[in-house]
């Protein structure tokens, strides 16, 4: 009985090891919106659309933070990254429209239409859009993995987190639970830096947004 108990404890510890490693090693890179330092670019990761094509609550909250940082002059451009694998589902354009409604000029927003995963968003931001310093914006449960992956992609990264628990309790609890297995893949990607599915030529969207007047 004691042997089985020890094995169970060891299994739990092993299962939590990547999740814990991501959280511990990114602790000094994560902050709240009100304490965020200035960075040239905010990277907003996609989080799904409603049936009417507008951002989900979690995605809208990420975009609200990006707009807040822009208006506070703590970012000068925004890179929205999401899924546009089919014509009827276009996260980046929905994100750009939301930001425009929040007062962020469209000329200050670049779009990555092949942000199919956190790792792919980060590596494409660095290699396709030339981002070398950024605030990455997502919910707290996802933030350690996002920060680690963008850092591993070569970006000087600050993570700015959204505390979504009171607004979307079930989705937030699910998000934390999902991060436990996702941390295994995230750790693998951070350490091995695999090639993304899609790269292509360099795109000037971010540099143009940085050069555009506010």
- CA–CA separation, 158 and 142 (whole Å): 13
110 pLDDT band, cuts 50/70/90, is very high
Sheet containing strand 77-81, strands side by side: 30-31, 156-162, 133-139, 41-45, 77-81, 109-112
Predicted pLDDT at 122: 97
Predicted pLDDT at 101: 97
DSSP state of 42: E
Predicted pLDDT at 95: 96
- Domain residue limits, the chain: 28-198
- Tens-digit pLDDT profile for residues 48-90: 899 999 999 999 999 999 999 999 999 999 999 988 877 778 9
- Tens-digit pLDDT profile for residues 122-139: 999 999 999 999 999 999
28-198 CATH fold: Rossmann fold (3.40.50)
- Tens-digit pLDDT profile for residues 4-31: 554 443 344 345 578 888 999 999 999 9
Predicted pLDDT at 40: 98
| Percent of the chain predicted with pLDDT > 90 | 68
pTM above 0.75, yes or no: yes
Non-local (6+) Cβ contacts of 138 within 8 A are 44, 45, 47, 62, 146, 159, 161, 162
- CA–CA separation, 121 and 19 (whole Å): 20
> Is the predicted pLDDT of residue 173 greater than 70, yes or no?
yes
| Percent of the chain predicted with pLDDT > 70 | 93
Predicted pLDDT at 12: 43
Neighbours of 182 (CB within 10 A): 19
Higher-scoring residue by pLDDT: 114, 2: 114
104 pLDDT band, cuts 50/70/90, is very high
């Amino acid at each position: 009985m004691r042997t089985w108990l020890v094995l169970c404890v060891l299994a739990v510890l092993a299962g939590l090891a990547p999740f814990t490693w991501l959280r511990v090693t990114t602790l000094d890179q994560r902050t709240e919106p009100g304490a965020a330092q200035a960075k040239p670019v905010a990277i907003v990761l996609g989080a799904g659309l409603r049936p009417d094509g507008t951002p989900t609550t979690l995605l809208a909250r990420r975009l609200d933070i990006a707009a807040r940082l822009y208006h506070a002059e703590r970012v000068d451009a925004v890179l929205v990254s999401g899924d546009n694998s089919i014509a009827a589902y276009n996260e980046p354009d929905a994100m750009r429209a939301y930001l425009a409604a929040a007062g962020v000029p469209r000329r200050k927003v670049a779009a990555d239409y092949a942000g199919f995963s956190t790792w792919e968003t980060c590596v494409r931001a660095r290699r396709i859009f030339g981002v070398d310093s950024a605030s990455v914006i997502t919910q707290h449960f996802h933030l350690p993995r996002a920060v680690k992956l963008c850092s591993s992609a070569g970006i000087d990264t600050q993570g700015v987190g959204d505390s979504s628990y009171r607004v979307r309790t079930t989705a937030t609890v699910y998000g934390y639970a999902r991060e436990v297995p996702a941390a295994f893949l995230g750790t693998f990607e951070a350490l091995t830096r695999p090639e993304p599915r899609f790269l292509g030529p360099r795109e000037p969207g971010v540099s143009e947004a940085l050069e555009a007047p506010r």
